[in-house]
Chain A
Amino acid sequence: MNRDQNPTLLQVKNLTVCFRAHGGTILAVNDLSFDLNKNQILGIVGESGSGKSVTMQNILGILPKNGIVDPNSQIKFNSSRYGEIDLLKLKPKEKKWFKLRGSEIGIIFQEPSAVLSPIYKIFAYFKEVIDLHLPGKSKTEIEQMAADMLAKVGIPNPSQCLAQYPFELSGGMKQRVLIALTLVTRPKLIIADEPTTALDVTVQAQILRLLKKLQQEFELSIIFISHNLGVIRQIADQVLVMYLGEAMELGLTEDVINRPLHPYTSLLVKAIPHFKSKGNPLVTMPGSIPNPLERPTGCPFHPRCPFVLNDVCSKQHPAFINYENGRKSRCFYLEKHKSRGVPVETHFRN
């Protein structure tokens, strides 16, 4: 198949990552597999300990030193420079990373102030990125490219912005600058790790609108990580629900949220408050997220699951199975009832 016609941009296969810590080994990600196509936004949603950050660290090659990746894990990236490469096989300081990160793979972090040092003007950041990845441009060319991109992200006065320092900009504007910095090298894949969590809700709405528009214009693929299901609903085409390092459910966003195929997703959706449910107690998940050192046996969610099957869920580990419409779920209860002919989508309905 011609490389450019391959719709899959990123393939994560059986990703398993452990960390050595005081008191034992922590399984941060367990047998995670998902595909990301071109021109698609995949949302990854999960609470603390879900492993979403560690997954991202592996895709970017910034896993901490005490992390151990299983040798059978693969992350295949369809690079225009290197062809199809396995990102996990690259050593941490390998040269290929410096050509991939910031160029083909872009990153948008949560806190723009942590990325933009206050002692440099905005122009300096563009110069750095362009000199690194698109060398040989003159100062005027850089200014032009930067101003164009700043205008594309909605900054009203780009040339003025280039002359400003980061502390002169608001949080929303800084995040727009970061997005512009990421896009100036025309990446194919963008990892956005909670990019709107630190922003006010009105600014968040603007940034989400911006990202959607840019994704369409530049034909980007975005992995959008968030703990906020509402945000995921707005921006993601597909969503992957993670819990304790494992994929619980995968599917089209609207399907997963309105007709969940996993008890965890269903409870997660139900736990979100609405003004209309005022007066009624919120449905909560029993128990709490377990200590990573005390991982439950079998299905990681079984101690808190209202649909737990006592003989199976604590003893065996459910597989991530395909259902209709490209949906996947990891649940014994669902498997059991599907085979009895009960329609799949009625089980955990809200």
Chain B
Amino acid sequence: MAKKNKPIDAQKIHTTTYWKLVWIHFKKHKAGKFGFYTLLFMALCGIFADFLAPVHPQARDSLAILAPAQLPHFFDSKGFSLRPFVYGIKTKRDPITLRPIATLDKSKRVYLQFFSHGFKYTLLGIPLDVHLITGENGQKIHFLGTDEFGRDLFSRLLYATKTSLSIGVLGVLTAFVLALIIGGISGYFGGIIDYLIQRFTEIIRVIPVIPLYMGLAAAFPKDWSSSKIYFAITIILGLIGWPTLSRRIRSQFLSLKNEDYVLAATVAGASSYRIISRHLLPSFISYIIIDLVISFPYMILSETALSFIGLGLRPPVLSWGVLLQSAQRIEVIVHSPLLLFAPAFCIFVAILSFVIIGDALRDAADPYKTHY
């Protein structure tokens, strides 16, 4: 109601394209925006993992085994400090079990340095060694603690985010390309082709997923490099995911094929190619994008599950599933539960964000509704 007095530029409103209209409606959906920015944040964390990680993810800090989280402070009993700091780690041995126990040493302040030097990495081919935050004088700091080898959880989480999210994207894209070809041909041509393809799809769908995963993953030669395994997992995910998506694409094609404007295009002399590219695809892309967004969580969960049971990615490649897999030990759960909960929380947040975005997109996907 407050916008009543804004002069409406009719021409501008009437010439906005479909995607702009969808974006305008999407922005109004508060939860959707939240989900979107959360995912964006996670993606950026993953992309700039090298820059953001204070310590190398594989570096073992023998002085900090299963260390607790070193959270940054600005003041404590000694007073206020403009420069944030973390408490140091001191290690004692338990007299009975001889197990090293790491605790926070509140007497020792380790100040944080910004844009300082750390371990080397390459970004777009340029060798760099600047990091956002490191400990002063090259001291290792662990915001979320360490694992049983002294490896920093925070840094590992950043790299795991990059891998898990990218596998989700690639898996969905693979499934989508397969589903588009198979479902598209099935829906557009109909008849016997459709019949045969649908029966084939049903056979594929009937195969139980976990044994299939296990079979395929176990077939990887042991000497494959981690990147080869990475791509192989992506392809497996795509191969498992295409049937559901292809069904949706096929039904969209079938229903759109008989729309009046498609018939009108035929009457106007359009070739099959033009009908598909100019008339069918743009309309159904909007529905399919929602399906794709909903598929992401399944892909991420699939990769996590595979890696969790040890059949997917393996160390030194880092993903949320791999982190969860390494956290499957009683001493971890008892002494450093963060090793389990931190990756689980990341998974939870990522999936929730995708689902919320999918909901918001679904609401926004029909911007031509007149709201009287």
**Which of A's residues lie within 8 Å of B, judged by CB?**
19-26, 292
Contact = CB atoms under 8 A, between A and B. Distances in A.
> What is the interface residue range for chain B against chain A?
under 10
7 contacts: A19-B372, A21-B371, A23-B3, A23-B8, A24-B4, A25-B4, A292-B372
Nearest to A64: B372
Contacts of B3: 23
Interface string B1-21: 101100010000000000000
Interface centre among B3, B4, B372 (most CB of A within 10 A): B372
A26 B4 contact: no
Given A19-B372, A21-B371, 9 more contacts: A20-B1, A21-B372, A22-B371, A23-B3, A23-B8, A24-B4, A25-B4, A26-B372, A292-B372
Contacts of B371: 21-22
Nearest to A22: B371
B196 to A, nearest CB: 33
Interface string B347-372: 00000000000000000000000011
B303 to A, nearest CB: 42
Interface of B: 1, 3-4, 8, 371-372
Contacts, number: 11
Nearest to B1: A20
Contacts of B8: 23
Contacts of B4: 24-25
Contacts of A292: 372
Q: What are the nearest 6 A-B pairs in CB distance?
A: A22-B371, A21-B372, A24-B4, A21-B371, A19-B372, A26-B372
Contacts of A19: 372
A22 B1 CA distance: 8
Interface centre among B3, B4, B371 (most CB of A within 10 A): B371
A245 to B, nearest CB: 13
A280 B1 CA distance: 48
B6 to A, nearest CB: 9
Contacts of A22: 371
A65 to B, nearest CB: 12
A68 to B, nearest CB: 12
A24 B1 CA distance: 6
A55 to B, nearest CB: 16
Nearest to B372: A21
Nearest to B371: A22
A198 B74 CA distance: 75
Contacts of A23: 3, 8
A60 to B, nearest CB: 18
Contacts of B1: 20
B16 to A, nearest CB: 14
A19 B4 CA distance: 14
Nearest to B6: A23
B367 to A, nearest CB: 11
A270 B372 CA distance: 31
B87 to A, nearest CB: 55
Contacts of A25: 4
Nearest to B4: A24
A20 B8 CA distance: 17
Nearest to A23: B8
A26 B1 CA distance: 12
A22 B24 CA distance: 13
A118 to B, nearest CB: 22
A73 B212 CA distance: 70
B299 to A, nearest CB: 37
Contacts of A26: 372
A58 to B, nearest CB: 16
A292 B372 CA distance: 10
A24 B4 CA distance: 6
B372 to A, nearest CB: 5
A12 B155 CA distance: 74
A271 B8 CA distance: 34
B338 to A, nearest CB: 48
A251 to B, nearest CB: 31
A57 to B, nearest CB: 13
A130 B4 CA distance: 49
Contacts of A24: 4
A23 B7 CA distance: 10
A19 B1 CA distance: 12
Contacts of B372: 19, 21, 26, 292
A20 B371 CA distance: 9
